[in-house]
Structure 1
Amino acid sequence: MNMSFKRAFKCFLVRLPFVKGLALSLTRHVPRILMYHRFEAVRGGDGTIVSRETFEWQIGVIKADFRAKTLSECIEQSQNGGTRNGIVALTIDDGYDDFYAIAYPILLGNGIPATLFVVTSYVGGESWFWWDRLRYILKQAPEARKEWRYQRDLFIVDKTTPAKESKTWHRLADYCMTLSESERLRFIGAVADMLGIVVPDTPVGPYKQIGWDRIVDLSNHGVEIGSHTVSHRILTDLDDGSLRQELELSKKEIEARIGRTVKTFCYPNGQTSDYNEQVVAAVEKAGYQGAVVAHEGPYRPAERYKITRVSVSEDRIDFLWKIYGMDFLIMRIKKLFKRSVPGS
């Protein structure tokens, strides 16, 4: 099945009320944990950032057929065996200010709770996330193609089309992930020097992070605040002492700022290589009720420190497909078909 036909097939199925309703009925016991990162007033990127218009539409879908909870409420109900209600938890990573400016008013106006994970040393926008620094450099660079050698590696920095710019960013970012923190900063600095870009001392425009005053406001109006560590370091790279600091100091600072217990945690980067049993045990020991990863997979109530999430983008068909549990329905149909075919 080619990609265009597959998408047309998905589009057809999710627009059939009976099919969508059946999928929802079969999966009502499974909480939907949605993962967001960035928001924008008007769509202008590659579709990974959710626009105000699409977010309003998504909230309409949620209000129509689901019950929204904070992540900690979802965990508590799941532990008590009470999740057969079509529960959805909206989680937002990294704590960008665009959440407060764009998504929060929509949530507040609709009475929808959410969970925001903040990186405490970045709150207030005094420091750049390394990936944002890299994006800023590429955005400011001239629209040209340039070959560049860094140590033994050859890189092609290509801004001749948006697709090639995106490919360049991913190539550079993937390389950054292989480096230590200090080596990564040197590499990004070398990219800036090579392209002749001067990076401001503090994040600007869409790269700004939220401030503590706004976090307190969010906490007072239905948004649960969770920890995303102190500095967003990959936890499997840390020794025991540094790991405890990332988990415990972030929790204590947020609690001191908002006057509430921090119950939930989000692993930096959140892929399977970014957490292990030692890290999971440390998260539980630090006093969190549960933790989320950043990849998809089956929801398992017993694994409350490895809660999988559904990645959300601007794609409305993909959103409907995921939130109504259409993959589960298709899987059930395939199983029934195999049973009905002799010799299968």
Structure 2
Amino acid sequence: MLINKIRTRIFRHLGITKLLWRYRKNGIYCFNFHRIGDANKGKYDPNIFSCSVEDLKKHLSFIKNNFEVINQACFIAIVNSGQVVDKKLAYITFDDGYLDNYELAFPVLRAMNVPATFFVATGLIESKVVPWWDEIAWHVRQCNLDELSLPSWHKPIVLSNTTLNNNIRAVLSQFKSVSVPIEKQLVELRQITGLVLEHYDSEFMTWAHIAEMESAGMAIGAHSHSHRIFSGLSAKELSHELSHAKMLLEAKLTQKILSISYPVGNASTYNKDMFDEIDRQGYQLAFTFRYFINQQLKPNKFQLGRFSISEPFTERRFMELCLNAPTL
């Protein structure tokens, strides 16, 4: 990370970012979005918003003009062929299955003729289930504590009144970093804040929305059933998360479900011991939330990297994001 920052500063100082852009590496650049819209109007976790609709258009326009955008079928064909990627390819994904993916992102993708894959957590579709990250964010928003500390944490998180987004980001990071299951930490959080989220208006897509997107040429992938972190599951629980999500999606849709993205998706949330089960369940691609360009596709088809889009579009910063990325 430090090396990337130094490299970026050198590029900017020398004014050579655009020059180096011509010589960026070959491979598949996967760009991942979560929510689309105005983060300031959200009730829960503002950090899960990737960008506004206008910035989504800018991101996609730049990607279209600088990469060959491929769909899932093409991605799988390249992996299965074992061929070396000798060009700059792009692949667009969305995680979780929020309603704004259908209402805001889908019309933009269709108007711009850009294919994308939507990874949905099936347990959140048409349900009143509160996703754990949104409930955690709600507690941080509502509580009046100066600091937050759970029994399973090594240190407390100081809560500042002026940086709500940073507070939520810090607490979520702490939840993800300890080995105690998030469900248990949530119980502890509710006890400490003394608050109960009694009414949750679902902010996720319906099956009809997902089916409409599929019929329009978008690919649908699994994002587990309950969005539990895979590394904390038993073999039986992992098998259920993989199989149940796939079964529900295939029962509601017309296409086979061939890809999955790992919930959270950082290096601590999955491991190579899972790959045999993922393969056995019929998945052909699995996507992480790790930052690298995909070059060696076949041996790494179950740990594919993606670039997180989490800010308004700026051409220079987007170029730097791609130029600084390592390869796998």
Other-structure match for 1:263: 258
Pairwise CA distance, 1:285: 0.8
The structure-2 alpha-carbon separation of the partners of 1:106 and 1:182, relative to structure 1 and needing over 3 Å to count, comes to closer
Task: Name the structure 1 match of 2:276.
Answer: 281
Partner of 2:95: 93
The answer for unaligned runs of 5 or more in structure 1 is 329-344
Residue 119 of structure 2 corresponds to 117
Q: Per-residue CA shift, 1:272-317, capped at 9, x if unaligned?
A: 2211222111101100111011111342212111111112121523
TM-score (norm 2): 0.83
SS of residue in 2 equivalent to 1:22: coil
Pairing 1:135-146 to 2, within 5 Å after superposition:
135-141=137-143, 146=146
Deviations 1:196-238 (A, max 9, x none): x54243245xxx1111111111111121100111111122222
The 3-state SS of whatever aligns with 1:245 is helix
Distance 1:301 1:223 in 2: 22
Structure 1 counterpart of 2:197, one-letter code: V
- Counterparts of 1:128-167 in structure 2, within 5 Å, are 128-141=130-143, 146-147=146-147, 150-151=150-151, 155=156, 158-162=159-163, 165-167=164-166
Amino acid at match of 2:200: T
| Identity over aligned pairs, percent | 21
Deviation for aligned residue 1:113: 0.5
Q: Residue 32 of structure 2 corresponds to which residue in structure 1?
A: 35
Q: In the alignment, which residue of structure 2 is the partner of 1:202?
A: 200
Question: Residues 103 and 277 of structure 1: is their aligned pair in 2 closer, same or farther, counting only changes over 3 Å?
Answer: same
- 1:332 maps to none
**2:252 paired with 1:251:** no
- In 2: Cα distance, 1:239 partner to 1:119 partner: 19
Q: Is the 8 A contact 1:91 1:116 kept in 2?
A: yes
The structure whose Rg is larger is: 1
Distance apart, 1:13 and its partner CA: 7.0
Rounded to whole Å, the distance in 2 between the matches of 1:104 and 1:22 is 32
Q: Which amino acid aligns with 1:77?
A: I
How much is the aligned-residue C-alpha RMSD, in angstroms?
3.1
Q: Distance in 1 between matches of 2:304 and 2:17?
A: 30
Specify the SS of the correspondent of 1:265.
Answer: strand
SS at match of 1:294: coil
Residue 96 (structure 1) shift: 1.1
| CA-CA distance at 1:115 after TM superposition | 0.6
User: Are 1:55 and 2:56 matched, yes or no?
Assistant: yes
What is the TM-score of this pair, normalised by structure 1?
A: 0.80
Question: Which runs of 5 or more structure 2 residues have no equivalent in the other structure?
Answer: none
Q: Name the CA distance, whole Å, in 2 between partners of 1:40 and 1:271.
A: 24
1:246, distance to aligned residue in structure 2 (A): 0.8
C-alpha spacing 1:182/1:11, structure 2 compared with 1 (3 Å): same
CA–CA distance in 2 between the matches of 1:184 and 1:310?
A: 29
- Structure-2 separation of matches of 1:282 and 1:201: 37
Q: Does 1:309 find its partner at 2:306?
A: yes
Indicate if the aligned counterparts of 1:72 and 1:290 stay in contact, CA closer than 8 A: no
